[in-house]
């Protein structure tokens, strides 16, 4: 793991990521996850050279996130909706959230999970694995 400090900026850029990766001993076939934290506005606007963009939201944040931050959802390939174990305790309409997200990006894949209980984690791991395998096949001309 490498922490990259953006200073006064609200997002990472490709140069920062490239510099951060220099400190890692990545082997062929490695998977690099870049957590671009802060907000759902700035990170959507900058290409980091990533193969896929995953938007992570929590049910505790509300089901209106796609409407508030449409560019991030438009730029994503996968929406992870986390903390589903808290659904009985919060106002969150899963269908409405997914509907709003897919109106913005009809091709957006959606996975629901709970990092706390592990529910949905196998599907997330399978998604990551399939992306890594597609990348490997592409590199080897398959």
- Confidence (pLDDT) at 115: 94
- Confidence (pLDDT) at 24: 84
Q: Please give the chain's pLDDT, 142 residues, in tens.
A: 777 777 777 677 777 777 878 878 888 877 877 777 666 666 666 676 678 889 999 999 999 999 998 998 998 999 999 999 999 999 999 999 999 999 999 999 999 999 999 999 999 999 998 887 766 554 545 5
Domains observed in the chain:
14-139 (3.40.50.300)
Here the tokens at position 141 are 């001309």
Residue 80, phi-psi category: left (phi > 0), alpha (psi -120 to 50), beta (remainder): beta
- Confidence (pLDDT) at 16: 79
Record the pTM: 0.81
State how far the Cα of 113 lies from the Cα of 121, in Å rounded to an integer: 6
* Residue 142, SS3 per DSSP: coil
State how far the Cα of 96 lies from the Cα of 115, in Å rounded to an integer: 22
Residue 66's Cβ-count burial label (10 Å; 0-12, 13-18, 19+) is buried
- Confidence (pLDDT) at 3: 76
State how far the Cα of 139 lies from the Cα of 142, in Å rounded to an integer: 8
DSSP string, 21-35: HTTS-PPTT------
State how far the Cα of 73 lies from the Cα of 47, in Å rounded to an integer: 14
Distance from chain centroid for Cα 10: 17
């Amino acid at each position: 793991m490498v922490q990259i400090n953006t200073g006064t900026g609200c997002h990472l850029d490709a140069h920062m990521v490239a510099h951060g990766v220099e400190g890692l001993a990545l082997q062929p076939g490695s998977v690099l996850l870049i957590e671009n934290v802060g907000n759902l506005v700035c990170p959507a606007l900058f290409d980091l050279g990533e193969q896929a963009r995953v938007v992570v939201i929590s049910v505790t944040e509300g089901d209106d996130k796609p409407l508030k931050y449409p560019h991030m959802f438009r730029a994503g390939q996968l929406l992870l909706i986390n903390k589903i174990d808290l659904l009985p305790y919060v106002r969150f309409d899963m269908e409405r959230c997914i509907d709003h997200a897919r109106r913005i990006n009809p091709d957006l894949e959606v996975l629901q999970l709970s990092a706390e209980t592990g529910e949905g984690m196998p599907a997330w791991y399978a998604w990551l694995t399939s992306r890594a395998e597609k990348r490997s096949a592409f590199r080897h001309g398959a």
